[in-house]
Amino acid sequence: MNWASAADFWAMGGYGFYVWGSYATVLAAVVIEIVLLRVRRRRAISEIIGGNLEMGKSTQTVGDR
């Protein structure tokens, strides 16, 4: 596709809101997933190092999480 200007590129022939909104949604989901994975990894490592795991069970109760 050829665009006459940058505004035409961002408008994407009238579908710009859908296209860029879709990209933004996917990017947000990927960033959130990466952050949550890092948090879970850190928590798992700290539980392993701290010795809080016995036979695959955590010593925390449901209310402590």
> How does pLDDT run across 4-53, given as a tens digit for each residue?
888 888 888 888 899 999 999 999 999 999 999 999 999 999 988 887 65
pTM over the 0.85 mark: no
Alpha-carbon Rg for the chain, nearest whole angstrom, is 22
The DSSP line for 1-65 is ---SSHHHHHHGGGTHHHHHHHHHHHHHHHHHHHHHHHHHHHHHHHHHHHT-EETTEES--GGG-
- Measure the CA–CA gap between 58 and 46, rounded to whole angstroms: 12
